[in-house]
């Protein structure tokens, strides 16, 4: 199996890449710092296209859109959330996901069973809205909506799309007080990706297999 993982230089992305490689799967990872197979910044207009050129038409069986940022921690409602923070967050968390999927559609179509896994968050849910983190919540809600609509358009082509909450994970983003380890999240997500098929396309699930409320 050939797996492409964006944001594979650290955190969940790195753990997923390590697990797949340990099982002898072919992994093409991307990282902004060049620590993975392909140096790529999803906000660079040429970034996804450069990834496609690197793949040279090879089939992609699973695309994991994992790259993401959480820039608005601790922002004050009255004075925070500047325009640039909105733009930078959406460039990574939404536009970067769409552009990566768009340019790799030929590679996914070349697979016998191409699948797309989008890492969103429980913070995307309109049913769980405790306030704060407006930019991150809005961007993850947007990518959830993106995934749901892609699932509709790609279903006739046999490409399944799943959207996932990875858990509150002990990473640089989640912090040391988070609920689960990176390996817990990666193993759970890996099981979810393996179960993704056309019957479950458009799903929004947690890392441990529960349906997440929209």
Q: In terms of pLDDT, which residue wins out, 42 or 178?
A: 42
- Specify the CATH class of 2-206 in words: alpha beta
Using DSSP's 3-state secondary structure scheme, residue 2 falls into strand
28 vs 25: CA distance, rounded Å: 10
Six token digits for residue 23? 């099982």
Q: How much is the pLDDT for 171?
A: 66
Cα–Cα dist 207/108, whole Å: 23
The answer to whether 6 and 65 have CB atoms below 8 angstroms apart is yes
Of 166, 195, 196, 197, give the one whose Cα is nearest residue 182. 166
Q: What is the CA radius of gyration of the chain?
A: 16
Length of the chain in residues, anyone? 214
The model's confidence at residue 178, banded by pLDDT at 50, 70 and 90, is low
Catalytic residue among 20, 70, 81, 136: 136
- Predicted TM-score (pTM) of the model is 0.94
Residue 164 known to be catalytic: no
- Model pLDDT, residue 213: 81
């Amino acid at each position: 199996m050939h797996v492409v993982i964006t944001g594979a230089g650290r955190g969940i992305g790195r753990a997923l890449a390590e697990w797949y490689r340990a099982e002898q799967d072919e992994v093409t990872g991307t990282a902004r710092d060049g620590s993975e197979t392909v140096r790529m910044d999803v906000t660079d207009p040429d970034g996804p296209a450069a990834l496609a050129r690197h793949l040279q038409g090879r089939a992609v069986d699973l695309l994991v859109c994992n790259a993401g940022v959480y820039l608005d921690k601790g922002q004050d409602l009255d004075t925070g959330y500047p325009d640039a923070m909105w733009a930078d967050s959406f460039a990574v968390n939404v536009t970067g996901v769409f552009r990566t999927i768009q340019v790799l559609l030929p590679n996914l179509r070349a697979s016998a069973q191409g699948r797309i896994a989008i890492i969103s968050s429980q913070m995307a849910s309109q049913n769980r809205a405790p306030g704060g983190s407006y930019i991150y919540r809005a961007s993850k809600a947007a990518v959830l909506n993106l995934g749901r609509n892609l699932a509709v358009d790609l279903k006739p082509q046999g490409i399944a799309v799943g959207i996932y909450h990875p858990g509150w994970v002990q990473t640089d983003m989640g912090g040391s007080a988070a609920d689960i380890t990176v390996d817990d999240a990666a193993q759970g997500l890996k099981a979810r990706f393996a179960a993704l098929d056309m019957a479950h396309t458009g799903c929004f699930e947690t890392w441990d297999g529960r349906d997440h409320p929209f």
